[in-house]
Structure 1
């Protein structure tokens, strides 16, 4: 029962469990392994053998953690990828539905990035995305916040326990930080790389939290771009990003 409880908890599911018991027999071993155990050791114990088996499982756990981390990172930018974003958003939406805590989302798009790629080439485009991603990731520093590459030149930041005003402040911070990079972009109105940000927040409980939050943030991003880019829009109210 304890093993089953561990394996059904998202925060604890990856902890390797070894059964050490005086109950031998194939049926007991099968039950333990089916419950999620990685090993089944019966008494009397042989300490050197137990130690060796524990070390083996710790090594496998470390290797598994490395592979899992790599699977959740974007190959170009090194920040969280779309898969990791989806998992985190699902987790936060479950928490939102259960406790009614606020949940905000920022969707971010690099302004006129296709023009940047066409003008400077794909290598420079990749370098630009890496700088933008690192800056966004550095700004998402509150506990629980997560920045991810959503796709192409689009990024996202999940903001647990944040209302719309907090999300707007982060959006302003992101716009300012990207402008301060001063990456030359002759095909952009400002002459440097800028971003547009759409933010949305859910509170109180929303049974369709994921769908509604994504739709609202995406619509806000569309409005930010339509209003002239290099700005933050939230809750259908455009707010010009604070000047640097």
Structure 2
């Protein structure tokens, strides 16, 4: 009788262990899903914001630069209208794959920022390093020659904004994003299919 009870308890413990493992695994998968963009399979905006804050504090302590590259697909609404939304989705997937290949270091990150806009976080990277990444993206996409009839270039292109700073614990990460966004729109104003670098360093600081 005692051996039967011990066997039953052991079996129950094993089932509990298996169920616990399944729950932990399921929670990990749910967390992963919550941080990944379903269409492009790169990080989503939620994860980017969290990771930027983490890297911001780390690089502030180490006094090393961080670069942000904002990437916007040129005339994407026209692309969707002409080719259809399914083709538009495939286009975004191809660009996300291109961007993922453009950054290879473990600390770098590619995320879908919203709609047809992506963002790259390049840790411990100065402006010259970010420019090399941007040039590689532009050249690779041109070589891909994805047709885009409504565009004046007749193929898919992107505009890029670059911002770089050595983070400061009293400086808001959002200020770097704002400066980079200005550079992105400057690239669009200058004819698209190019990059522009943010001129002025961010100045938005936390209240003392």
TM category (shorter chain) comes to 0.7 to 0.9
Which structure 2 residue ranges, 5 or more long, are not aligned? Answer: 1-8, 201-208
Aligned to 1:149: 112
> d(CA) in 2 for partners of 1:76 and 1:132?
12
> d(CA) in 1 for partners of 2:131 and 2:97?
20
* Cα deviations by residue, 1:148-184 (Å, 9 ceiling, x for unpaired): 1100100001111111111111111111122222110
Relative to structure 1, the CA distance from residue 172 to residue 166 in structure 2 (aligned partners, 3 Å threshold; closer, same or farther) is: same
* Cα deviations by residue, 1:38-63 (Å, 9 ceiling, x for unpaired): xxxxxxxx987766554443332221
Higher helix share: 2
Aligned to 2:67: 104
Aligned to 2:130: 167
* Cα deviations by residue, 1:38-89 (Å, 9 ceiling, x for unpaired): xxxxxxxx98776655444333222111111111111211111111111111
Number of corresponding residues: 192
Structure 1 residue 206: Cα displacement: 5.5
> d(CA) in 2 for partners of 1:233 and 1:184?
24
> d(CA) in 2 for partners of 1:224 and 1:103?
21
Match status 1:123 vs 2:86: yes
Relative to structure 1, the CA distance from residue 99 to residue 49 in structure 2 (aligned partners, 3 Å threshold; closer, same or farther) is: farther
TM-score, with length taken from structure 1? 0.72
Aligned to 2:35: 72
Structure ranking higher on relative contact order (CA contacts 8 Å, 6+ apart): 2
Tell me the secondary structure at the aligned position of residue 219 of structure 1.
helix
> d(CA) in 2 for partners of 1:54 and 1:176?
53
> d(CA) in 2 for partners of 1:156 and 1:140?
12
Aligned to 1:229: 192
Does the CA-based 8 Å contact 1:102-1:162 persist in structure 2? Answer: yes
Match status 1:195 vs 2:155: no
Greater displacement, 147-156 / 114-123? 114-123
The structure 2 residue matched to 1:180, chosen from 143, 149, 174, is 143
TM-score, with length taken from structure 2? 0.84
The structure 2 residue matched to 1:83, chosen from 36, 46, 49, is 46
Does the CA-based 8 Å contact 2:45-2:111 persist in structure 1? Answer: yes
